[in-house]
Amino acid sequence: MPLAGSERNADVRNTLAKPPAFRASVESVIQVRRPRRAPQVTHDLRAIWVDGLAWAVMVGMGEHSIPAFAVALGLPGAWAGLVATVPMVVGALLQLVSPTMIRRLGSHRRWVVWNAGLQALAFVPLAIAAFVGGLPGWALYVIAAIYWGAGIATNPAWSTWVGTLVPGAVRTRYFARRTVWLHVFQIAALLAAGWILFVGESIGQPMAAFGVVFAFAFLARALSTALLAQHSEPDPMPGGMRRVGFRDLAARLRHGSDGRLLAYMLSVQFAANVAAPFYMPYMLRELEFSYAQAMGLVAALFLSKAISLPLHGRIVGRHGVRALLWIGGIGLGPSVGLWLLTDDFALLLMAQLFAGFVWSAYELSTFLLFFDAIRPEERTSILTKYHVANALSMAGGSIVGGLVLAGVGGAAAAFTTVLALSAVLRLATLFLLRRFVARPTLAT
């Protein structure tokens, strides 16, 4: 016999699993949805949550290990850093077919699942190459382009699709708490990868260790793909979907609130990536840190992000999301300060903790503003083009940094120059942030 509304809600609450943050989010959803929708809402939010955890393991184990793998393969410092950004441009161009393919498939979910599966498969040749013991540099770039192309292709469709599954009344709290757990799992994955690589190096099998790491990344994304396939899709093609052309979007970069937000974000990506891709080669080659130390510093960044999120959520609740955006924007420049002054591991650990705090503020505020500043019917089209511009900004910044590294004598001095340039450019982005925040509303 079907359960009555109150009995059904009680049954859903009793079957909710840990963590408590997830249970609280789902109970909030049940309170704002009609009782007959509670089981489906619970299922979707659980699947979104656990899919994110598997995705975080993939990123921590696999994505962050690719630059280190490039170093192990013997690629020069600049090329080892650029593998994290240049293939992203190719990937972003490949995903321009997303809107067309979504229309042909008649489903955002199907497109996301296909690309998530392709992204998982990208780790297979990396693992095989690591176990065999070598891979040409050009092949690494091709595989990285496939990885990024599939990953970027999922983002616009996923944002549009999940926007129909997570009710707006609980969206901020749900994603803030989910993001905390994503960071926790990324930290665990980073530390696990660092430990595996450290053990492999200590026993004289560093390449085989990379093979194990990439195999775990494949399994994590495969699990994520299976979970994505279990999400519901109440509205496969949201009504009134509209294509936004490049010319229209370019005009909005000057005049629209959505465009001004994107312009600011693109400038931040350019400024940050003048230095960001070269941290790993710098730590492993110039500072001679172990894999465990290098991964530990990366993990510290994510730890700080996770710890900071509850505070950032309270700031949004009391002062609004734009206040949080200012905190992140102002802090991005000084966040590279200690890297300019010292190579002491303990002090660099402190620098990473501060950087995690400001990046967490920036990422949470921009993520939430995506849902408010960009109309749902235009989101897939706009984000598809934004990811191309974003990849070009990241690659452009990294190429500038690579040219500085190649042109300045002395690797340590060159990296210091790159950091200083990145810090100046990050501070310059505040002009574009002021233009966006000055807009009284988010509507275009």
Average pLDDT rounded to a whole number, residues 36-52: 78
The span from the CA of 136 to the CA of 439, in Å, is 50
| Rounded (5°) CA angle 340-344-350 | 75
Q: Which two tokens stand for residue 390?
A: 């974003």
Look at residues 369, 367, 381 and name the one whose alpha carbon lies nearest to residue 240: 381
pTM: 0.69
Predicted local distance difference test score (pLDDT) of residue 9: 41
Predicted local distance difference test score (pLDDT) of residue 196: 93
Predicted local distance difference test score (pLDDT) of residue 253: 63
Tell which wins on pLDDT, 291 or 53.
53
**CB neighbour list of residue 14: distance below 8 Å, 6 or more residues apart:** none
| Spatial contact of 212 and 84, defined as CB atoms under 8 Å apart | no
Average pLDDT rounded to a whole number, residues 398-404: 87
* Element at 300 (helix H, strand E): helix 291-319
Predicted local distance difference test score (pLDDT) of residue 241: 65
Backbone region of residue 443 per phi and psi (left: phi > 0; alpha: psi in -120 to 50; beta: other values)? beta
Q: Which sequence spans correspond to the domains of the chain?
A: 17-231+247-437
The span from the CA of 264 to the CA of 253, in Å, is 9
Predicted local distance difference test score (pLDDT) of residue 34: 38
Tell which wins on pLDDT, 348 or 17.
348
Predicted local distance difference test score (pLDDT) of residue 38: 67
Q: Is residue 173 pLDDT above 70, yes or no? A: yes
Rounded CA Rg of the chain:
22
Predicted local distance difference test score (pLDDT) of residue 28: 40
| Spatial contact of 433 and 343, defined as CB atoms under 8 Å apart | no
Give pLDDT tens digits for 213-256.
Answer: 999 999 999 999 999 998 887 777 666 666 766 676 666 666 66
- Mean of the per-residue pLDDT values of the chain: 80
- Which of 63-72, 319-328, 370-379 is modeled with the greatest confidence? 319-328
Q: Is residue 305 pLDDT above 90, yes or no? A: no
214 to each of 134, 197, 289, 370, how far by Cα in Å?
14, 11, 21, 32
Q: Which two tokens stand for residue 110?
A: 């199907």
Q: Is residue 362 pLDDT above 90, yes or no? A: yes
Q: Is residue 20 pLDDT above 70, yes or no? A: no
Look at residues 73, 201, 195, 205 and name the one whose alpha carbon lies nearest to residue 129: 73
Average pLDDT rounded to a whole number, residues 179-194: 87
Q: Is residue 372 pLDDT above 90, yes or no? A: no
Q: Is residue 394 pLDDT above 80, yes or no? A: yes
Q: Is the previous residue joined to 76 through a cis bond, with omega within 30 degrees of 0? A: no
Q: Is residue 201 pLDDT above 80, yes or no? A: yes
Tell which wins on pLDDT, 25 or 118.
118
Predicted local distance difference test score (pLDDT) of residue 359: 93
Query: Residue 32 — pLDDT band, cuts 50, 70, 90?
Result: very low
Q: Is residue 361 pLDDT above 70, yes or no? A: yes
Check the CA dihedral 95-64-159-224 and report its sign: positive
Average pLDDT rounded to a whole number, residues 299-305: 88
* Element at 211 (helix H, strand E): helix 206-228
Look at residues 282, 279, 336, 326 and name the one whose alpha carbon lies nearest to residue 430: 326
Q: Which two tokens stand for residue 323?
A: 């206040």
Predicted local distance difference test score (pLDDT) of residue 373: 65
Predicted local distance difference test score (pLDDT) of residue 223: 95
Tell which wins on pLDDT, 57 or 313.
57
Fold observed for domain 17-231+247-437 = Growth Hormone; Chain: A; (1.20.1250)
- DSSP letter for each residue of 342-355: ---HHHHHHHHHHH
Q: Which two tokens stand for residue 92?
A: 């972003």
